[in-house]
Structure 1
Amino acid sequence: MSCQGCSKKVEFALNGIHGISAGVTLVPPVAVITMEQHVPTEILQEALSKAGDYKILMAGDHHGDLPHNKVLPSPVYAGHPEADHPKTITKSGTGKYYCPMHCQGDKTYDKPGDCPVCGMDLVQQPVQKLATQYSCPMHPEIIRDQPGACPICGMDLVPIGGGGSDKEEDQTYDRLLRKFKIAALFTVPIFIISMSEMIPGNPLFNLMELRYWNWVQFAFSIPVVFYATWMFFERAWRSVVTWNLNMFTLIGIGAGVAWLFSLLALLFPGIFPDQFKTHSGNVYVYFEAAAVILTLVLLGQLLEARAHGKTNSAIKELLKLAPNQATRIVDEKETTVAIDDIQKGDLLRVKPGEKVPVDGSIKTGEVTIDESMISGEPIPVDKKPGDKVSSGTINGNKTFTMLAEKVGSETLLSQIIDMVNSASRSKAPIQKLADKISGYFVPIVVFIAVVTFIIWAVYGPEPSYVYAFVNAIAVLIIACPCALGLATPMSVMVGVGKGAKSGVLIKNAESLEKLNAIDIVVIDKTGTVTEGKPSVEKVISADAAFTVQDILQRIISLNSSSEHPLAQATIRYGEQKQIKQLPIEHFEAVTGKGVIGIFNKENLALGNEKLMEQVHAAISPELMEQVKDEQKQGKTVSYLAVGDHAIGFVVISDKIKESSKEAIGKLQKEGLQVFMFTGDNEDTAKAVSETLSLDGYKAQMLPEDKLNEIKRLQQKGKKVAMAGDGINDAPALSQADIGIAMGTGTDVAIQSAAITLVKGDLNGIAKARLLSHKVMGNIRGNLFFALGYNVLGIPIAAGVLYPFFGILLSPMIAALAMSLSSVSVILNSLRLKNVKLD
């Protein structure tokens, strides 16, 4: 399948088989079939073959005519060789162009052109070009990383590849502008000739008779129809052949009929009844209507091309953050290299005011980094050796060196750009309404135009056929499925870009819509409510046979193989105390409980009370009382057991983020309930809950407990958002209606979530919630505007006001209104750029 029309055909064909109920999706290309009794694949294939050139395979079966992961090309349309059409590439491909109405889901194309479904001009997807190289136009063998002069001929070096996406967008705009100028150049004289009857004395007719001026109009219309706006007729023809009826179907029929009628009137005036003739015996011609309509539609396309560039301006701003080059240190010597040449482990120097080239950690120097372009927070962040820095952020006033850890597409900036691009092309569920309406829209409009012609021809005043013809064309021209189709994707694109600039990354449009209906927000504790930077307060021994140093040594030895934040805190503490790590055998991390291992035949266990129960380690009442006292203060405590009894514990504190209470208060004011699910103990959870005034909490929860509790809430009809940052949160994040990951957390959590807060701050949830409100309101406004426009415009064009007010709508005015309707939807969407999320 290559388009929504295909998927509808396939679905219709499959549902035509007795005893089958089928649902078909385009991306992925899957048919989910429910059968009353087994139907052989051969019968399914036979039905599909009758519908078109479609093949069906069982899921996982790739041995047929369709090799696994094969990319299907776009269909080749009659009269249009494949070379003239963009090649379709799946979302995992490298295509740079997409349809702004997302007719084929998130398919992209590798060359510009028009959408094979709706006919709209494809829009270029902003892409990250890590390093710009320059070459001499006369000596292409000269390639440099920086602009300058050619060492051979002295000419200025120019960017290789045309200079990037902005220039390509300008080329599209320039192409349309050039065609519009030509169209306007010939349309204006046609319009003047046509309107000359309104000039007192009609000076033009003193030069020539009307029939000769009609030939002049015909001659002037040829460059308009067959050059400047011929693409509209190509799109209209393609839409009919593929039965993907769209805006250009109506334009092609309306303007095409007007122009062909006029040509016949010139060549064969005798075949027309007197009703179609003027008092001088000439047949009415509509060259001016066809030319003006097409020129105004072209103007609309021109304005849309300019507006489209602004809808993804946020992504372009992110792209500009990536520097082109960096300073690499090799053998204590500095060399300037392109970003593409940086490898993991390279030592880089970042000077004051420069952008951080890749993701990594500071090796030497204490600096202040401006991270506002990624996190959305204006206050610079202090960094010291060992701290992480991200590509695109800006160094303050001190030089530092860093180790490159993530390069190319692995950097946070690249991932943000990729996520924003994907989300911008995704469909929100609300768009299904627009898609459904659009599927019936064009046939209904054509039917209304036919009915309009018949009613005016039968009941209209003389010349009734002329009124019927003009009003039918007006109905075809004023209808605008384009505005309906753009209503959702434009808002989503601008909204997702706005979120990215504010540190809120939206994975898809569906999550943006769902967030608007959330009832409950569930949050994790460590790294979500707290700073995620735990530190060891003290280590306590409860056994005379073991000193505090002995206990600490076993704790850091066990934790040396763990990546948990609490484990890293104990390791840092051990390094400060200069404690040597012991060799641990049979290490195992017990999810949600702790870690176990063996040292010198000692069975060691470090973790919470549940782990102690699992390893059958006894805890003395005195030790348990000490631990509870610490937990009541909101601190985390891990027991250490040797063999079958606990010998001590470590106290770890993790400061609550200053913004957590404020963010939770904002969410509660909006009517949301906020609960905390944590693997920590009851006393610690209770202390944190009381501090933050939460609506409730659950302690000592394993990953499966969090998952099951969210399922339970959903079974009650609640819409649940889950915010977390750890691997143990990933199942709950996936189960929740909306998973929200802290950008400071693990990659697994981020991949499991629908929304990522770059800064890892709960205030980001409030921002995301507000953004969801604004985007959904904007979409509803666009849909109301587009539907309202068509509901009002079509009857007016049909002449419903004529019997009462004598008002008729000229097809030329209808064309202007149709073009401006789409532009208005885009401009309304652009208002989201000015929304304040703080």
Structure 2
Amino acid sequence: MKHVYPISGMSCDSCRTHVEKALNSLDGVHATVDLAKAEAIIESDRHVSLTELENALLLQGGNYHIGQKPLPKFSPKISLAGAVYYCPMHCEGDKLYDKPGNCPVCGMDLVARPGQVDENQKTYQQLSRKLIIAVAFTFPIFLISMSEMIPGNPLFQWASMLTWNWIEMVLSLPVVFYATWMFFERTWTSLKTGNLNMFTLIGIGAGAAWLFSMVALIFPHWFPVQFQGHHGTVFVYFEASTVILTLVLLGQVLEARAHGKTNEAIRELVKLVPNEATLLRDGKEHIVPIDQIVIGDLIRVKPGEKIPVDGMLQAGSRASVDESMLSGEPIPVDKSEGDLVRAGSINGNSSFILQTQKVGAETLLAQIIELVHQASSSKAPIQKLADTISSYFVPLVLLSSVVTFLIWFFVADSNAFSFAFVNAIAVLIIACPCALGLATPMSVMVGVGKGAQHGILIKHAEALEQLAQIDVVLVDKTGTLTEGKPSIERLLVSDHAMEEKEIWQLIYSLNRLSEHPLAKASVHFAQELGINAYDVNDFEALLGKGVQGQIKGQNYVIGNQRLLTEMKINIPVSLFRQVAEAQKQGKTISYLANEQVAIAAMVISDRIKSSSSEAIAELQTAKIAVIMLTGDNQETADLVGKSLGLDAWKAQMLPAAKLDEIIRLQQEGNKVAMVGDGINDAPALTQADIGIAMGTGTDVAMESAEITLIKGDLRDIAKARKLSQQVLRNIKENLFFALAYNVIGIPIAAGLLYPYFGILLSPMLAALAMSFSSVSVISNALRLRRMKL
């Protein structure tokens, strides 16, 4: 027996492995779990009940459920009020948490996903309060310590050196055990899990300095005489440990602030979700929360209001809608009966009624927010380089610190232990790899936000990296290169026919009463010409053929050639020749005729987008081959391919054929991007190295793709590729900054310059240099916000 069940509660590959192991623990059960589809395929030679499967999951632990519909990815209530957290170091992949706290692997503070304004702000405020406390107590410690350098130190006239050392110790307690205690917790977590990171160095370095000072203060007689100053006390490092910890805390505050800055675009998207809507029920208007709206409800949108759901304008409704939040275009879009409007767009000066089609997680705005959420907290493959460097770097730094201690201890003529200790601590502090950990995620977050501002939605950070490597772009025709809807290309007129304006008046008058898509195309064209309609009598729609009606006492028909043949209407030779030439090019023809003869013919086609030619030229200039795969006939494919100057094209391509073509190109070593907009493109979008969906297409295409071009403009591919290249370059710059500080700083901290110049790097200056490396990485990542696409 084989069954497929939905699984809820999984958020990372670790969860998938956990669930799969639990299900396979049952006798006679072979389970395969798919994380992307959130489902389990259960094969067994006996009947296994859902209860038995559910119990197996419960015994293994975790909040996983089988046979239940997963929770929606998004609802306005969840996004605005709740919070989801992730580890910025991605220790457990893309695993998410529903509560704030520390990562169980590395101890880092969990970060609220972008868009959760309150949570990000709360983290920043909490760290800021701790920083104020740390500075308030660290500054006097610093002054007391530095006062020794002042001739005739006035502090010693008030109290002895021993007393001031005790005051330093007391002042250090709030800094160590409250404001920065989280760093020591992270140190312990990293040692316990074996996942050594920047806090391993911070905790060991600052902790060793503080403990050394405590022992020196309480048990000074344990130290030889050479370690005692002229005041008879052993030199303490309370100021070094507190200043180090405070500077690191400052870096954390700057990072929290940077997280907020990179999410400005996402926060603006969240603000577009209105909290209430005007529901029409039983002929009355009711103001209700938007989470009470269901599909099929009628909603009234008043002038200036934000549209709360995705829906279709009802009979008699017209509106001018600002869709700049979706398309980036500032010009309002005119909407009429039957047109789709999107949640988050803004109504103009009219009031209209829409019928709800999508709510909550299903709206386009919700999908945009969710896509950016996923990408901002996802992990690019290049991050593996930083993680690998960190895994080797921290043990090497610890070894360098030990070697520094031993060399100074055995080489120094006097105060060897003090020299050895201080320099070993300086090595630990300056080598803190926090900048290394920030290098990739900061650039990815800013890059994803930048893309969202330009209508380029990136689902995974991996896609942002791979986009820079593509060398072949495959494109569907309909809805991708073309507009995906019928439009009037031109009007063919027979010899001695009436004036063209009058012809369009006849066409407009009849077709405006029809619901056929081809009729709507001619109506739209006539409206653009400013044509006025005649009154029509005895109108009749002829199914599959066309329409007929009486205008000014004469009968007219609009339809295909079969209709004219059945009604024995003559087609003039001059008109027939023009029509034959257009049909060779794959065009659709619709005739206008009176009772005796055809007057004119409309050439209808799926018009090529005005932006397609420019987009293809840009890609070809970048040495990227552009190939069209279409299910249309060969004549139409040839016409489109030649007019756009494509590198190649293939016609009559079914979904399976498109998939095979992508596999063939990949086997030849190409990096392939597939661009499509329909359900039939979904397999190809999934198979390609990068799937790119048109935002004007189907939801299935958007779900199957890694990148969505919300405006449906192919020129955005070039923009997305430029963004990808700039983000990768920014990441590499960040890695250079992070490693350069360490390569230069560690030898100086170890005392390399001391034999030649008498220069030693104090732990405080080492901490300052370490923090500056983090600030450099953050500042460099934020430069991406200013780049022009």
- Superposition TM-score, scaled by structure 1 size: 0.74
The answer to whether residue 52 in structure 2 is matched with residue 101 in structure 1 is no
Pair 1:101–1:578, CA change in 2 (3 A) = farther
**What's 2:258 paired with?**
307
**What's 1:250 paired with?**
201
Alignment of 1:173-188 (within 5 A): 173-188=124-139
CA contact (8 A) 1:275 1:465 kept: no
Amino acid at match of 2:203: G
Q: Within 2, Cα distance between the matches of 1:69 and 1:379? A: 55
Q: Select the residue among 317, 324, 341 that pairs with 1:365.
A: 317
CA contact (8 A) 1:301 1:819 kept: no
Secondary structure, counterpart of 1:345 in structure 2: coil
The answer to whether residue 689 in structure 2 is matched with residue 737 in structure 1 is yes
**What's 1:449 paired with?**
401
Q: Within 2, Cα distance between the matches of 1:378 and 1:574? A: 27
The answer to whether residue 285 in structure 2 is matched with residue 297 in structure 1 is no
Amino acid at match of 1:122: L
Pair 1:802–1:443, CA change in 2 (3 A) = same
Alignment of 1:114-513 (within 5 A): 114-126=102-114, 165-363=116-314, 364-513=316-465
CA contact (8 A) 1:726 1:749 kept: yes
Using the TM superposition, give the Cα deviation of residue 67 of structure 1 relative to its aligned residue in structure 2, in angstroms: 3.0
Amino acid at match of 1:473: I
Amino acid at match of 1:231: M
The answer to whether residue 788 in structure 2 is matched with residue 831 in structure 1 is no
Q: Select the residue among 696, 700, 721 that pairs with 1:769.
A: 721
CA contact (8 A) 2:113 2:376 kept: no
**What's 1:520 paired with?**
472
Pair 1:271–1:331, CA change in 2 (3 A) = same
Structure 2: gaps of 5 or more residues: 1-11, 27-39, 64-70, 491-514, 524-535, 545-576, 591-600
Amino acid at match of 2:758: G
Q: Within 1, Cα distance between the matches of 2:757 and 2:274? A: 63
Amino acid at match of 1:339: I
More moved, 737-746 vs 826-835:
826-835
CA contact (8 A) 1:275 1:466 kept: no
Output one character per residue of 1:433-471: Cα deviation in whole Å (capped at 9) or x when no partner: 111112222222111100111111122353222111111
Output one character per residue of 1:98-120: Cα deviation in whole Å (capped at 9) or x when no partner: 22222222212222122222322
Q: Within 2, Cα distance between the matches of 1:290 and 1:204? A: 22
Output one character per residue of 1:243-277: Cα deviation in whole Å (capped at 9) or x when no partner: 22222211111111111111111222122123422
Secondary structure, counterpart of 2:56 in structure 1: coil
Using the TM superposition, give the Cα deviation of residue 514 of structure 1 relative to its aligned residue in structure 2, in angstroms: 0.7
Q: Within 2, Cα distance between the matches of 1:776 and 1:339? A: 40
**What's 1:695 paired with?**
647
Pair 1:60–1:809, CA change in 2 (3 A) = farther
Alignment of 1:32-71 (within 5 A): 67-68=56-57
Using the TM superposition, give the Cα deviation of residue 239 of structure 1 relative to its aligned residue in structure 2, in angstroms: 1.8
Amino acid at match of 2:486: P
CA contact (8 A) 1:722 1:739 kept: yes
Output one character per residue of 1:350-381: Cα deviation in whole Å (capped at 9) or x when no partner: 22222111101112333222211122233332
Secondary structure, counterpart of 1:511 in structure 2: helix
Using the TM superposition, give the Cα deviation of residue 629 of structure 1 relative to its aligned residue in structure 2, in angstroms: 4.0
Using the TM superposition, give the Cα deviation of residue 574 of structure 1 relative to its aligned residue in structure 2, in angstroms: 12
Using the TM superposition, give the Cα deviation of residue 290 of structure 1 relative to its aligned residue in structure 2, in angstroms: 1.2
Q: Within 1, Cα distance between the matches of 2:521 and 2:175? A: 78
CA contact (8 A) 1:100 1:490 kept: no
Using the TM superposition, give the Cα deviation of residue 492 of structure 1 relative to its aligned residue in structure 2, in angstroms: 1.2
Alignment of 1:72-111 (within 5 A): 72=61, 96-111=84-99
Output one character per residue of 1:263-305: Cα deviation in whole Å (capped at 9) or x when no partner: 1112221221234222443211111111111121122222222
Q: Within 2, Cα distance between the matches of 1:351 and 1:299? A: 48
Alignment of 1:783-822 (within 5 A): 783-822=735-774
**What's 2:614 paired with?**
662
CA contact (8 A) 2:402 2:424 kept: yes
Q: Within 1, Cα distance between the matches of 2:190 and 2:343? A: 45
Secondary structure, counterpart of 1:117 in structure 2: coil
Q: Within 1, Cα distance between the matches of 2:159 and 2:443? A: 53
Pair 1:236–1:125, CA change in 2 (3 A) = same
Output one character per residue of 1:667-713: Cα deviation in whole Å (capped at 9) or x when no partner: 12222111111111222111111221212211222222222222222
Q: Within 2, Cα distance between the matches of 1:674 and 1:745? A: 20
Alignment of 1:650-729 (within 5 A): 652-729=604-681
Amino acid at match of 1:579: A
Q: Within 1, Cα distance between the matches of 2:719 and 2:307? A: 27
Pair 1:362–1:70, CA change in 2 (3 A) = farther
Q: Within 1, Cα distance between the matches of 2:587 and 2:396? A: 67
Pair 1:285–1:177, CA change in 2 (3 A) = same
Output one character per residue of 1:296-330: Cα deviation in whole Å (capped at 9) or x when no partner: 11222222222211122221111011111222233
Amino acid at match of 2:131: F
Output one character per residue of 1:399-426: Cα deviation in whole Å (capped at 9) or x when no partner: 2221111111111001111111011111
Q: Select the residue among 486, 489, 497 that pairs with 1:534.
A: 486
CA contact (8 A) 1:360 1:402 kept: yes
Q: Within 2, Cα distance between the matches of 1:230 and 1:460? A: 34
More moved, 58-67 vs 796-805:
58-67
**What's 1:46 paired with?**
none
CA contact (8 A) 1:676 1:697 kept: yes
Q: Within 2, Cα distance between the matches of 1:818 and 1:60? A: 55
Using the TM superposition, give the Cα deviation of residue 636 of structure 1 relative to its aligned residue in structure 2, in angstroms: 6.1
CA contact (8 A) 1:374 1:503 kept: yes
**What's 1:599 paired with?**
none
Report sequence identity in percent. 62
Pair 1:311–1:67, CA change in 2 (3 A) = farther
Pair 1:578–1:325, CA change in 2 (3 A) = farther
Q: Within 1, Cα distance between the matches of 2:267 and 2:445? A: 12
CA contact (8 A) 2:484 2:606 kept: yes
What is the root-mean-square deviation of aligned Cα atoms in Å? 3.5
Using the TM superposition, give the Cα deviation of residue 207 of structure 1 relative to its aligned residue in structure 2, in angstroms: 2.4
Q: Within 1, Cα distance between the matches of 2:754 and 2:516? A: 80
Q: Within 2, Cα distance between the matches of 1:265 and 1:226? A: 19
Amino acid at match of 1:797: A
CA contact (8 A) 1:531 1:655 kept: yes
Using the TM superposition, give the Cα deviation of residue 517 of structure 1 relative to its aligned residue in structure 2, in angstroms: 0.4
